[in-house]
Structure 1
Amino acid sequence: MAGKFELYTDESGMHRFRLKASNGSVVVTGDAHESKELCLKSIESIRKLAPYAQVQDHATAPA
């Protein structure tokens, strides 16, 4: 089973989404949006851009 985006309304009434992995763990939580439409646009942006996203490793090596 693939991951899924879940839309929800937070405590302040703002629209948000979370991306859950197939095991149910939350991978990403989106920013708050005034409208559901803006929230859906954010999801679409992630879907379009994620295949091209680079990985930048900023971790420091253990001493």
Structure 2
Amino acid sequence: MAGQFEIFTDAESNVRFRLLGADGTVLAVSKAFEDKRSAADGIMAVRECAGTGLIRETHSTPWGGTTWTKSSTAARPHSRQRRHFPAV
């Protein structure tokens, strides 16, 4: 059995969707949408880009935020290139 999307209303009365794995495990929860139609459009967008999306690693800061470091040719040797992993 494949995973599925589920549209629901959260505790603050916002419409959201979640992606469930084949075993029912929640894999992802969406942002809040204004209505069910917008949530359905969000599901369609996820379906379109999920198979082609790249994986990017970020580093957490001590206060819970994330940092993005720009690669600089002067600061890093060329042997350390960014690696992109294909979506599974």
TM-score > 0.5 by shorter chain = yes
Q: How many residues align?
A: 59
What secondary structure does 1:52 align onto?
A: coil
1:51 shift after superposition: 1.0
* TM-score (structure 2 length as normaliser): 0.62
Structure with higher helix content? 1
Structure 2: gaps (5+ residues):
60-88
Identity among equivalent positions (%) equals 32
Q: How far apart are the structure 1 equivalents of 2:42 and 2:25?
A: 20
Q: How far apart are the structure 2 equivalents of 1:14 and 1:58?
A: 29
- Is 1:50 matched up with 2:50? yes
* TM-score (structure 1 length as normaliser): 0.85
What residue is the counterpart of 2:7 in the other structure? 7
Structure 1: gaps (5+ residues):
none
Which structure has the higher relative contact order (CA within 8 Å, separation 6+)?
1
Let me know the Cα RMSD of the aligned residues.
Answer: 1.2
In terms of Rg, which structure is larger?
Answer: 2
What residue is the counterpart of 1:32 in the other structure? 32
